[in-house]
Amino acid sequence: MPKCTINGRSIEVKEGTTIMEAFYQQDASIAHYCYHPGLSIAGVCRLCIVDIEGNPRPQIACNTKIMEGMKITNQSAGIKEGVKWVLDFHLINHPLDCPICDQAGECGLQEQYMEYGKYSPEMAERKVKKRKVVDLGPTVVLDSERCILCARCTRFTEEVTKTEELGLFNRGDRTEVGCVEGKQLDNKYSLNTVDICPVGALTSKDFRFRQRVWYLKDADTICTGCSTGCNVKTYFNKEGFFRVKPVYNEKVNGHWMCDEGRDIYKFVNLEHRQLKASIRTGSETFETSAGDATKKFSSFLKQLKSSETAVVLTGQYTVEEYQALVKSLKKSAGHFFHWNQNEVTEKAFDGLLLRGDKNPNTAGLRQVLEENKVGSDWKELETGLKDKKIKTLIVAGPENKTVFLDLANKLTLFSQAENLVWLSAAKLDQAVSGPKNFWHIPLKTFVEKSGTFVNAKGLAQKFSKVTTVLSEALTLSDVAALLTGDEALMVAEAKSEIAEAKIPLLADLHKRPDQVELERRKKNEFLYKRGAL
């Protein structure tokens, strides 16, 4: 355990720790670009220079291991001057097109320049012109001029995805990032290169030009794209959700997330949502609010026999919701079914993050069904519907329709029932004409509620509500409360083993010491901005 001092503070670190890691552990600020904790060390940006006592020249912090008794500082006048000049060299060929650059506002170069910049550039030569708007693949666009050659993206494709599509070509100031001949940047994790790019050289085609980043608020939640349960940040404003980025969690996803998961913001937005509840009784169809429709169904439910009523659940909802729904409907519904749309591919895993099970909470649903000793075989549902033994179906359908490839088939199966209640946030593409009575009640999506997801490894993660998109939609707990008339269900979280276990809230796990509460930020942002003008 070598001891050393960093900026006058003496610390003890593990054997083999680099100076950069020690700075991170100390929360001491140090300028750097190419260093990324999830990648190997390249040492190309030369920005993280530090003075070590007894060493005649500055050393780079990312590639120097700490030895016993080292005295390290990056506060000396020489180092400060050096960082300034290195930063100015980075800017020699960097175009000043921040206004049309998507990275502006969250750009490493902008941030470092504000802190360490040399505000009077002395470069008199012309800038080297390079390719702009280069199509690298289906998801990413490259702007070579903005690139500062930190090699983070090439290291990512070499080390993490091992697909090796990207490389650095040519020499000197003509060096450019590009795809290897005959290849495209087309892998399932390609958008991570956009996240780790410290400048606006790599931009996402999906997010490109849609919003300036300073118009967006962010909040932590869990990706619902598959059962890995990656920790993510969702970015949104009053116009809707715009993108998803990964958040570091050592136990779950490390620094990365897949490209599929980045699409999960899409079905949250209003244009893909069922806005009003629709009820069809016989030939009469009318629209009403979600709560009213649920109450109407609850009075209908009381006339039904429990043996003829069944509940179908998908793995898209939280443990608390399952708990509330199962407990409240135990008496009035005789059967509970688990609609697993990807039974065949469920165990598939690509070795990095992507899993075959495209539901966030399959494990949680199974636990709840087991806990309550309900849950029947899927074949019973099929035969029951055929023999008209099951007349009423309550289906908690998918909010993310794109991962339910068998949706149309299953809808025709469910349509054999006499009464069908379809609980889902998503609009239905096809008309459901089979059942005599049909309710479609809009639900809230994962960003509009708090709850717990259990991932494929059995890790329960608690997340809190991000914002409200559709205020009149209900959660499954609300539906359960309205169906039974038990308002306690709506207010208090349903009791369950998982919900009661002390799991730290996701937002608290990733909290920075200087972070402002989201609610407070939402309230004060505009006032604050106005005041700053």
Partner 1 sequence: MSIVQNTGEKKNWYLPGILTGMGITMKHMLTNLMNRKKMPTLNYPEEKHEYGPRFKGNHVLTVKKDGTLRCTACMLCATNCPADCIKIVASESIDPEVEKFPIHYEIDILRCVFCGFCEEACPVDAIRLGPEWQTPGLNGANFNYDIEHLAHRPQLKGGILTHVDDKERHKAGI
**CB nearer partner 1, residue 205 or residue 276:** 205
The distance of closest approach from Cβ of residue 212 to partner 1 in the complex, given in angstroms and rounded to an integer, is 5
Give dist(CA 257, CA 265) in Å, integer: 14
298 neighbors 483 (Cβ within 8 angstroms) = yes
**CB nearer partner 1, residue 46 or residue 127:** 127
221 neighbors 232 (Cβ within 8 angstroms) = yes
> Would you list the DSSP string of 43-90?
--S---EEEETT-SS-EESTT-B--TTEEEES-SHHHHHHHHHHHHHH
With a CB cutoff of 8 Å and minimum separation 6, the contacts of 15 are: 1, 2
The distance of closest approach from Cβ of residue 101 to partner 1 in the complex, given in angstroms and rounded to an integer, is 9
Nearest-CA neighbor of 465 among 256, 257, 234?
A: 234
**CB nearer partner 1, residue 77 or residue 96:** 96
Nearest-CA neighbor of 36 among 254, 187, 354?
A: 254
The distance of closest approach from Cβ of residue 33 to partner 1 in the complex, given in angstroms and rounded to an integer, is 23
Long-range contacts of 462-465 (CB under 8 A, 24+ apart): 462/503, 462/504, 462/505, 462/506, 463/220, 463/221, 463/222, 463/505, 463/506, 463/507, 464/221, 464/505, 464/506, 464/507
Element (H, E) at 262: none
Give dist(CA 48, CA 40) in Å, integer: 15
Which of the 8 DSSP states describes residue 151? Answer: -
Neighbours of 173 (CB within 10 A): 12
The distance of closest approach from Cβ of residue 214 to partner 1 in the complex, given in angstroms and rounded to an integer, is 7
Spacing of C-alpha 130 from chain mean position? 34
With a CB cutoff of 8 Å and minimum separation 6, the contacts of 241 are: 234, 235, 265, 266, 268, 269, 447, 469
User: Residue for token digits 């308002």?
Assistant: 487
The distance of closest approach from Cβ of residue 301 to partner 1 in the complex, given in angstroms and rounded to an integer, is 47
- 274 three-state secondary structure: coil
**CB nearer partner 1, residue 1 or residue 96:** 96
User: Residue for token digits 């169906």?
Assistant: 483
Q: Number of C-alpha atoms within 13 angstroms, CB side, residue 390?
A: 28
- 303 three-state secondary structure: coil
Residue 11 to residues 67, 78, 285: CA-CA distances in angstroms?
12, 24, 72
With a CB cutoff of 8 Å and minimum separation 6, the contacts of 114 are: none
**CB nearer partner 1, residue 106 or residue 418:** 106
The distance of closest approach from Cβ of residue 188 to partner 1 in the complex, given in angstroms and rounded to an integer, is 25
Give dist(CA 419, CA 388) in Å, integer: 11
Positions that interact with partner 1 (CB under 8 A): 96-100, 125-127, 129, 132-133, 208-210, 212, 214-215, 530, 533
The distance of closest approach from Cβ of residue 99 to partner 1 in the complex, given in angstroms and rounded to an integer, is 3
**CB nearer partner 1, residue 145 or residue 357:** 145
**CB nearer partner 1, residue 37 or residue 121:** 121
> Would you list the DSSP string of 349-371?
B-SSS-BS---S-HHHHHHHHHH
User: For residue 52, what are its two tokens?
Assistant: 């070590």
Nearest-CA neighbor of 155 among 18, 38, 61?
A: 38
Give dist(CA 120, CA 381) in Å, integer: 74
